Amino acid sequence: MNIFLENIRIAFFSLGGRKLRTFLTILGIAIGVTTIIFIHTVLQSAERFFQNQFSTLGSHTIYIQVFSWGNRGDWFEFINRPKLTEEQGDFLEEKCDVLEVVNTTVSSRKIVKFRENGLQGVRVTGTTPDLLITSPISMPESGRFLTELDHQHRKPVVILGSAVVEKLFPNKNPLGERVKIGSRPFTVIGTMKKRGNLFGQNLDQEVIIPLGTFRKYFGTRRWLTLEAKVRDEVDIEFASNEVESWMRIARGLKPMEKNDFSLNRQNMIMDFYKNMTGGISMALLVIGSLALFVGGIGIMNIMLVTVSERTREIGIRKALGGNRRIILGQFLFEALFLSLFGGLVGMILGFLGAGVLSHFTPLPAVIAPSSVILGVLFSGSIGLIFGIYPAAKASKLDPVLAIQK
């Protein structure tokens, strides 16, 4: 402990005597670490943000559609595919044992009005009570959800998203009131809690009505989505293969024919996001590493100058019994101290930068332990790598020749 404290005292004294060079070296390390920590923290925040966004989809739900979320393939091929049917969903639910339920949804954009207030571009979703299983986030905040009777009897009832409530009922409880969707009157039976955005789409600017009612008022010539909820104990990859096989049968496809439907899952979007950001993050990390390399050169330079200026001191210490290990440890400690201090400054600046970004954007402020570990490892490694040569040079000095200088 005494040797450690003594090393700290000597490091402060030595580096404090060369304030400008010490400051510039610390600045180089800090810039590099700031860049790396900022990038890493922002990527962690973005991933957390997208995970929260995608949680509305359900990690154990397979969305069967004619379109692929990744747009892989020919767009004209997608739009010319035969539409999915509710009967195919019923067949899949009956035959595929790995599924808990298959829900059907369809949507359109309409204007929703209450008296003199109106909101355009509202997403009108027709669905069944099974939506609460495939997408539990749809649970109403007040009132009730759809029932099987609402669906079977095609009742004109509606559940309002929070943005619709804020626009049409700013100072009034909407439950029991009648709104118009297009030109059709509906009774409000529930409201949903705030859900945020997904792919730039405001999920709160939505209303939910029974699937049968949607077809009755707004027609049947629309693309359906079949939401297949996989049983919790079943592996999602295995379930996807099962769903694909049964859907091919339901669609009447022959063994050599291509699928005329797409299986979309939450992880597809996360994979797309990681592929999209992987190259960007790598390029920025290279820039940060270059800044650290420059800072490392600065550490080597200041330590070589220090060894040159303290040659006589080194000779005296070795003459008084100081061995190579102590001299090596002293100068290596100074290099490590310099780089870690620069790394600490860089981590603080990086986290502050990420915090400022989160204040002005929807990204949450995420300070992950991995970011701290990354900052310490990078700065510490630079100190050790670039400090080993000057420290070794100091430890190998001949005490007689060193004293004479």
The predicted pLDDT at position 66 comes to: 87
CA geometry: angle 4, 30, 329, nearest 5 deg:
25
Residue 64 pLDDT: 92
Per-residue b or e along 310-331, where b marks 16 or more CB atoms closer than 10 Å to that residue's CB = bbeebbebbeeebeeeebbbbb
Cβ distance 134 to 58 under 8 Å?
A: yes
pLDDT at 166: 92
What pLDDT sits at residue 180? 94
Token pair for residue 214?
A: 């949607």
Listed as ranges, residues in the chain with pLDDT below 50 are 1
> What are the pLDDT digits (tens) for 42-51?
777 777 776 6
CB atoms within 10 A of CB 160: 32
Q: What is the pLDDT of residue 352?
A: 84
Which residues, 6 or more positions from 169, have their beta carbon under 8 angstroms from its beta carbon?
A: 114, 177
